[in-house]
A and B are shown apart, each in its own frame.
Chain A
Amino acid sequence: MSLALRTKRLMREYRHMTADPPPQVRLQSHENLGKWEVVIQGATETLYAGENFTLQFTFPEAYPLEAAEVVFVNNVPVHPHVYSNGHICLSILYQHWSPALTVETVPPAGDSNYVKQAKVSPKDAAWRFDGMFTPMCTL
Chain B
Amino acid sequence: MDEDYDDYEYSEDESVVSISSSANSHQGHARTRATAAAAAAASQATSASQSQAVAQTQSQGQYSADFGYDEDEDEDFFGDDNDFDRAMGARPTKKAWAVDFKVYDPDGLRVTQKDTIDRMVPVLAVSRDTTTLLLRCYLWREEPLVEDFIADPERTLAKSGLSVHPAASRIESGNDEFTCEICYTSGAEEEYLSLSCSHSFCTDCYATYASGKIREGESWRIRCPAPKCKTLLGEESARLLLAKHKNVLERYEDNLTRSFVNDLDSFTWCPAPNCQYAIECLVPRSAMTTVIPTVNCKCGKAFCFGCKVDDHMPAPCYLVEKWQQKCKDDSETANWLKANTKECTKCKSTIEKNGGCNHMTCRECQYHFCWVCMGPWDEHGQQFYACNRFNEDSSKNARDSVSKSRAMLERYLHYYTRYNNHEQSVKLARQLLATTEKNMEQMQREMTLSWIEVQFLSDAVDVLSVCRTTLKWSYVLAFYMSADNQKIIFENNQSDLEMATEQLNELVENPIGQWSIEEIKRKIIDKSTYVKSRWETLLSDTSLGLQEGRWQFEC
Q: A residues within 8 Å of B by Cβ? A: 1-2, 5, 8-9, 12, 62, 64-66, 92, 98-101, 105
Contacts and interface: CB of A to CB of B under 8 A. Distances in A.
Contacts of B229: 98
Given A9-B182, A9-B183, 15 more contacts: A1-B208, A5-B182, A5-B183, A5-B204, A8-B185, A62-B212, A64-B182, A65-B208, A98-B225, A98-B226, A98-B227, A99-B225, A100-B201, A100-B227, A105-B227
Given A65-B209, A99-B209, A100-B201, A12 B184 contact: yes
Given A2-B208, A65-B208, A100-B199, A9 B184 contact: yes
Contacts of B182: 5, 9, 64-65, 99-100
B362 interface: no
B205 interface: yes
A100 B206 CA distance: 11
A66 B212 CA distance: 9
Residue among A1, A2, A100, A101 having the largest count of chain B Cβ atoms under 10 Å: A100
A122 to B, nearest CB: 27
Contact of B227 (A1, A9, A62, A101): A101
Contacts of A1: 204, 208
A66 B185 CA distance: 19
Interface string B56-70: 000000000000000
22 contacts: A2-B208, A5-B204, A5-B208, A8-B184, A8-B185, A9-B183, A9-B184, A12-B184, A64-B182, A64-B183, A65-B212, A66-B212, A98-B229, A99-B182, A99-B205, A99-B209, A99-B225, A100-B181, A100-B182, A100-B199, A100-B227, A101-B227
Interface residues of B, number: 17
Contacts, number: 42
Interface of B: 181-185, 199, 201, 204-205, 208-209, 212, 225-229
Contacts of A65: 182, 208-209, 212
Contacts of A105: 227
Nearest to A13: B184
Contacts of A62: 212
Nearest to A62: B212
A23 B37 CA distance: 98
Contacts of B212: 62, 65-66
A76 to B, nearest CB: 25
B314 to A, nearest CB: 40
Nearest to A95: B216
A62 B211 CA distance: 13
Nearest to B208: A65
A43 to B, nearest CB: 22
Contacts of B184: 8-9, 12
Contacts of B201: 100
Contacts of B209: 65, 99
Nearest to B211: A65
The 6 closest A-B pairs by CB, nearest first: A12-B184, A100-B181, A98-B227, A99-B182, A100-B226, A100-B225
Contacts of A99: 182, 205, 209, 225
A27 B182 CA distance: 21
A103 to B, nearest CB: 13
B192 to A, nearest CB: 13
Nearest to B181: A100
A98 B223 CA distance: 9
A66 B211 CA distance: 12
Contacts of B208: 1-2, 5, 65
Contacts of A64: 182-183
A2 B183 CA distance: 10
B204 to A, nearest CB: 7
A101 B225 CA distance: 9
A89 B93 CA distance: 62
Nearest to A2: B208
Contacts of A9: 182-184
A92 B227 contact: yes
A2 B211 CA distance: 13
B12 to A, nearest CB: 60
A92 B223 CA distance: 14
Nearest to B213: A65
B226 A8 contact: no
Contacts of B181: 100
A99 B204 CA distance: 13
